[in-house]
Amino acid sequence: MLASIYRFLGGDNPFRAIAYENASRSVRELSKDISFYDKQGTLTDIQGIGKSIESDIKEFLTTGVIGKLEKLKHKVPIELLELMDITGFGPQSLKTIYKKLHLQTKEEVIRALEDGSIQKLKGFGPRKVENLLRNLKLHKTLESRMLLYDALLEAEGIINLLSPLTNVKKIEMAGSLRRRKETIGDIDILIAAPVKARKKIIDFFVSPTLASKTLARGETRASIILKANQRQADIRIVEEEEWGSALQYFTGSKAHNIHLRSIAKGKDFKINEYGVFNIKTTKRIGGRTEEEIYNSLQMQMIPPEMREDHGEIELALNHNIPSLVRLQDIRGDLQMHSNWSDGQLSLDDLVEYVRTNFKYEYIAITDHSKSSRIAKGMDEKKFLKQISAIEEINKRLGTSFLKSGAEVDILSDGTLDLSDEVLAQLDWVTASIHVGFKNDNTKRLVRACQNNYVHCIGHPTGRLIGKRESYPIDFNKLLEAAKETGTLLEINAQPNRMDLHDEYALLAQEKGVKLVISTDSHKASDYDFMKIGLSVARRAWCKPEHIANTLSWKELKRLFTKK
DNA sequence: GCCGTTTTCGGCCCGACTGTTTTCAGTCG
């Protein structure tokens, strides 16, 4: 809020607004609550927080308000500032509208746009007014973001259409999509093509095949609203020799790039989307590959998933970038549902499909337990029957590929929905909470960890992105319990779960709690979700050693000798 | 307002696109 007020006030010091924006972003991205840092007295260790903002935060934590903000609120049309979230409404335009027409609310602005009074102002022509109105409308439909998985599918579709065009030398996703953020605002695609080929590529991109609206089009870039899902997609076209610098630039994040550029500046280099340049000689040093960009600053190449300016640049300068876990490191999927409960495939079909399409060494069938009625949960008797069925299939195939398992419900008191006798006979037990989202579930989860037959806690926070918040939970207590009992935590790879999310997965990784990436699949197309879980792990800076299902089955079971 | 491997003062990423101008300001990513 302070950031947008200062942005609006602008004037003598525009950098104050930027400072507040930076601080606000840092606080938003903290893994722990801000009061934690206050208690520790480490607020000013947070990037972007100095003496002044520290005292603002302290004031807010003790009194619930910031005096400075309350005063400023009376100096600016506070309701108008909301409009700055909408494309086209910058501080200067709003200021003009406010000063000349004395408008106070969003509704008044919309009316003034429609009745032509804004168009009479200097700098507001008919096109601008039309765009502002259109962006206002658009903002409503674009409020929610895409899930990573949906955005990936959409982007792959666009790439498949564009890549066969003449002279498309290279094409790749960029932006938050390439960094694999859990939700995506718009789809960014980068293309390498010679100048003469660009017009045809852009013509195709903005054509009705893909676009329902063209937002902007130039010689090197274009923005459209996709026909398929009414989301925004952008393309940029560069020369092949600019590929690395352009890909680096358009992948971001913004904070990562700004940090990188300031380092470059200190070395008398300049980085832009066209390459790395020596400022003094104006000579181009590199830019054909991303490696050239980072290497020119004596840095290691940084994987896209790490580029958030959360300390990865310092790691790269010290050549300490971890070798992140890769898809080919994953040796098995440990949460899969069959048609014995709510899955679609029979055990036979499931095994055949996975063995044909994946190179796994093992998979665990983890059907639901009896209290999950809606999911056709199974009782003890049925689990015993399934164990024999699995044995029979393994025997017939001459392998031990298929592991018997369960996704057992954690009941309200923290006990489990299956008897220890049956749990003891299963190869793999994941325990999850499926009901009771309102109460603090820390105790339930800790008790589940303490059960000797539980290997893993499934979707530990219970959130559904955009639909349901996590149930209340003291995550640090869960981490302690997991660490103490040697219980693993799941990165559930369902696109709308991604649970643990990247920040919690990072905390677990730092604490030495091992993680498991599982698809929680219910049908054949779900098996692909593994890559979603993998991107969470990579955003949490996980190496293979942090992920238990990169181990062979023998090594995996050895983790539980304590239990 | 924040920050520091040239700096505790003087910087703060940088180029494309749009629309309104008639050479550029505003906005975005």
DSSP string, A88-142: T--HHHHHHHHHHH---SHHHHHHHHHTTTTTTSTT--HHHHHHHHHHHHHHHHT
Residues of chain A with CATH 3.30.460.10: 146-238
Give the pLDDT score at A143: 63
Give the span between the Cα atoms of A211 and A226, in whole angstroms. 5
Integer CA distances (angstroms), A523 to A2, A17, A197, A330, in order: 48, 49, 42, 19
**CB of A436 under 7 A from strand B?**
no
A420 close to A453: Cβ distance less than 8 angstroms: yes
Pairing outcome for strands A456-457 and A488-492: parallel
Q: Which CATH number fits domain A146-238: 3.90.870.10, 3.20.20.70, 3.40.50.1860, 3.30.460.10?
A: 3.30.460.10
Average pLDDT score, chain A: 91
User: Among A22-36, A71-85, A240-254, which range has the highest average pLDDT?
Assistant: A240-254
A100-148 pLDDT tens trace: 888 888 888 888 888 888 888 888 888 888 888 888 877 766 566 889 9
Lowest-confidence region among A35-49, A139-153, A372-386, A512-526: A139-153
Q: Is residue A262's beta carbon less than 7 angstroms from any atom in nucleic acid strand B?
A: yes
Which residues of chain A (292-311) touch nucleic strand B at CB < 7 A?
A: none
> What is the model's pLDDT at position A25?
81
Which nt is closest to the CA of A254, judged by C1'? B29
Token code pair at residue A11: 């004037």
CA gap A161, A99 in Å, rounded: 48
Q: Which chain A residues 185-204 have CB under 7 A to strand B?
A: 186, 188
Type of residue found at A255: A
First-to-final CA distance of chain A = 50
Name, in order, each residue with C-beta under 8 angstroms of A513's C-beta and a sequence gap of 6 or more: A479, A482, A483, A488, A489
Round to a whole number and report the distance in Å from the CA of A70 to the C1' of B7: 36
Evaluate if the CB of A24 falls below 7 Å from strand B: no
User: Is the peptide bond preceding residue A253 cis, with omega within 30 degrees of 0?
Assistant: yes
**Which CATH number applies to A244-317?**
3.30.210.10
Q: Average pLDDT for residues A30-59, to the nearest whole number?
A: 86
Bin A520: left if φ > 0, else alpha if -120 < ψ < 50, else beta.
Answer: left
A343 DSSP assignment: -
Nucleotide B1: closest residue by CA–C1': A16
Instruction: Establish whether the CB of A170 is closer than 7 Å to any nucleic acid atom in strand B.
Output: no
Residue with tokens 């718009």, as numbered in its chain: A186
Residues of chain A with CATH 3.20.20.140: 327-558
3-state secondary structure of A230: coil
Residue A254 beta carbon within 7 A of nucleic strand B: yes
Nearest to A405 by CA among A478, A465, A350: A350
**Is the CB of residue A157 inside 7 Å of nucleic acid strand B?**
no
pLDDT at residue A373 in the model: 79
Q: Strand B: which bases are under 7 Å from protein Cβ?
A: 1-3, 5-7, 11-21, 25-29
Which CATH class for the A327-558 domain?
Answer: alpha beta
Identify the pLDDT of residue A12: 60
Taking the C-alpha atoms of residue A547 and residue A542, their distance in angstroms, rounded to an integer, is 7
| CA gap A439, A472 in Å, rounded | 6
Give A46-92 pLDDT, tens digit per residue. Answer: 888 888 899 999 999 999 888 888 888 888 888 888 888 888 888 88
Q: Name the nucleotide nearest A2; use CA and C1'.
A: B1
**Which nucleotide has the least CA–C1' distance to A20?**
B1
- Which amino acid does the sequence have at A345? L
CA A27 to C1' B10 (Å) is: 27
Within chain A, all domains assigned CATH 3.30.210.10 are found at 244-317
Three-state DSSP state, A248: helix
Nucleotide nearest to A93 (CA to C1'): B26
In this structure, the number of other CB atoms found within 10 A of the CB of residue A535 comes to: 26
d(CA A363, CA A335): 8
- Write down which residues 82-121 in A have CB closer than 7 A to strand B: 86-94
Nucleotide closest to A94 measured between CA and C1':
B26
The pLDDT value given to residue A231: 87
Whether nucleic acid strand B comes within 7 Å of the CB of A384, the answer is no
